[in-house]
Structure 1
Amino acid sequence: MRALNLDQIRAFLMVCRLGGVQKAAQNLHLTQPAVTTRIKKLEEGLGVALFERQASGMKLTKRGELLMQYAEQFERLSDRVEKVVVAPDGIDRRLRVGASETIAQCWLPDFVSALHAKYPRLEVDINVDISVNLRAGLLAREIDLAMLLGPVSEYSVDNVVLPGFELTWYSAYGIAQTQEGGNRLLREKPVITYARNTRPWRELKTLLFDQVGPDVSVFPSSSLSACFRLVEAGLGVAALPRVLGRSLVEENRLQEFDPGWKPSDLSFTVSYLGDPHSHLVEAAATLARTVAEDWHLVN
């Protein structure tokens, strides 16, 4: 028997977890032939078949199921060696980070800077998207770390709570700010909000129905920047993060108004898969919380 190869073990585990070579190749940033070759060499080295190739996908053989148990132990040992033995500046890996636009416009640059300071050789891929897509990407193992409207209620996911964002109502500058005027605005102006089927969108739809009535026009947008621009142009009103609207208010481009109610604060988590355990991902999540807390203290 040949010595076990860590890259072959990782390819084997990824095929097991994702159910096929194509998805495993995408996750490992390899070609399908490269993953197939690693699996074939692992089987040749062990002298056993690890998978049954079926039309529905790859199914583990009895020997494959046995190897998976040991491979997971090997993976955990490798992670522990990296944690205990390898110096942070010696870690040469890729970290795939997904972030909501709210976080991207606030403290994400500080987080990336802190990551590079701690892990100089770490390659960081950034994907900014809505929380629904980030959650799907995390569960599909396309993202290592997701900063999103959370928590993610899955047994396989660990969630680190982040500071929230207070929402306040905004209109274009110069519109009456009384509570009566605020209620009138919500009846007369379209309400611009977060993307359809997101948590803020669902909550706002319910609150508008209860507080104002069923005939309020709601315009969802997947771009937070676009929401602010539309409000500034007088095309609607919106409940948006106060910390992001503050400078626009100071510049007399927007103004706050109070209809007597507002949606609850946005609650974020930094979430990651607990299996396989990665001390790097866990350390990055802890660092994200620290950076977020520091940013909120001064903003």
Structure 2
Amino acid sequence: MVDLSLKQLRLFCFVAQTGNLGVTAERLFLTRGAVSQGIKALESQLGVSLFERQAQRLHLNARGHLLLPLAEQMLNRQASILALFEPGDSQVPLRLGASLTIGNYLLPTLLGEALQQIRLCGEVRLANSAEIQQALVAHQLDLGLIESETLEPELERCHWRDDEMVLIARAGHPLSGQVADWGLLSEETWVLRERHSGSREQFDHHLRPRLKPEIRILELGSLEAVVRSVQSGLGCALVSRLACDEALDREVISRIHLPEPILRRLYIVWGQGNRALPQVASALKLLSMR
């Protein structure tokens, strides 16, 4: 039976990060030889190589990539266990990620209210919903706030709050204040977020089937850019009410009414089995009250 130690896994993770035995030795206050022997011992115990050695650099091979997220998860669990029994304020910092809509329009208030009661680990990662999920699967984040109905099988989620999707156009558009005419809207340019974003997911599900097969699309990487492009008359868009409320109030854009409201769910997501981690449990409790 192979008996792995956390010390071995920590050494492996450091080498995977640095790609260099000498740098790892300096960071861990070890000799280069000790690091090399530790990696060889781990590979010998597992019966496989974990790195490809090229020009004085070590690169993870396929088996190394399989081991890395599991090793990181084990080390995170160890840190959480130790934190439970340390005196004083011992809460483990939370590695938080959020989709761009949530990060730009909801998170600033949350950081000033609920999340000020927990410790955050560095900066909050902002990316689209798919990228946040990938980071959770890779154990690079502890908790994510996303706007996508699609969920990676390795993750768990709970419904957090609802968000309305709004169809917007330039101020003075012929359809402003009217119910959507899909034939006329098919002739418009559509200003959209990138694929795999939550906003694009909503457009593809609710609006795309109602439009003609061939439509003009302008793809942008942020909601602010989408709203500003609509304001400039570049096309129409389906966006979160959070992103367009201010522009609607200033009447620099207009709203086209949908036949029925489109409400989407915003979710809190985390890795399977991680709900018991103290930093995750604390954040879930606080966010559930908001």
* TM-score, with length taken from structure 2: 0.71
2:177–2:255 CA contact under 8 A, matched in 1: no
2:269 corresponds, among 268, 271, 275, to 271
Matches of 1:112 and 1:170, distance apart in 2: 29
2:16 corresponds, among 5, 22, 46, to 22
Matches of 1:103 and 1:279, distance apart in 2: 23
State yes or no: 1:158 paired with 2:156: yes
State yes or no: 1:249 paired with 2:256: no
1:128 corresponds, among 119, 126, 129, to 126
Change (3 A) 1:152 1:35: farther
Identify the residue that residue 286 of structure 1 maps to in structure 2.
285
Change (3 A) 1:197 1:233: same
Q: Which 5+ residue runs of structure 1 have no aligned equivalent?
A: 61-67, 294-299
Q: Which 5+ residue runs of structure 2 have no aligned equivalent?
A: 53-59, 65-69
Matches of 2:62 and 2:215, distance apart in 1: 51
SS at match of 2:283: helix
Matches of 1:151 and 1:175, distance apart in 2: 31
Identify the residue that residue 188 of structure 1 maps to in structure 2.
187
Identify the residue that residue 231 of structure 1 maps to in structure 2.
230
Identify the residue that residue 148 of structure 1 maps to in structure 2.
146
Q: CA deviation at 1:106?
A: 2.2
Matches of 1:116 and 1:9, distance apart in 2: 34
Identify the residue that residue 136 of structure 2 maps to in structure 1.
138
* TM-score, with length taken from structure 1: 0.69
Matches of 1:214 and 1:148, distance apart in 2: 29
1:190–1:218 CA contact under 8 A, matched in 2: yes
Identify the residue that residue 51 of structure 1 maps to in structure 2.
43
State yes or no: 1:170 paired with 2:190: no
Change (3 A) 1:181 1:280: closer
How is 1:26-41 mapped onto 2 (pairs within 5 angstroms)? 32-33=24-25, 34=27
Q: CA deviation at 1:77?
A: 7.2
Change (3 A) 1:132 1:76: closer
Change (3 A) 1:9 1:258: same
- Residues 134-154 of structure 1 deviation map (CA, whole Å, 9 limit, x = unaligned): 111221222222211346644
SS at match of 2:140: coil
Give the counterpart letter for 2:109 in structure 1: D
Which protein has the bigger helix share? 1
- Residues 224-256 of structure 1 deviation map (CA, whole Å, 9 limit, x = unaligned): 000110011111111111233222112111111
Matches of 1:98 and 1:279, distance apart in 2: 17
Give the counterpart letter for 2:249 in structure 1: E
Identity %: 17
- Residues 149-184 of structure 1 deviation map (CA, whole Å, 9 limit, x = unaligned): 346644542313211210111111122336477435
Q: CA deviation at 1:109?
A: 1.6
Identify the residue that residue 219 of structure 1 maps to in structure 2.
218
Matches of 1:155 and 1:180, distance apart in 2: 38
Identify the residue that residue 56 of structure 2 maps to in structure 1.
none
Matches of 1:223 and 1:75, distance apart in 2: 32
Identify the residue that residue 198 of structure 1 maps to in structure 2.
197
- Residues 87-117 of structure 1 deviation map (CA, whole Å, 9 limit, x = unaligned): 4x443x4432211111112221232234663
State yes or no: 1:118 paired with 2:117: yes
Q: CA deviation at 1:126?
A: 1.3
1:167–1:239 CA contact under 8 A, matched in 2: yes
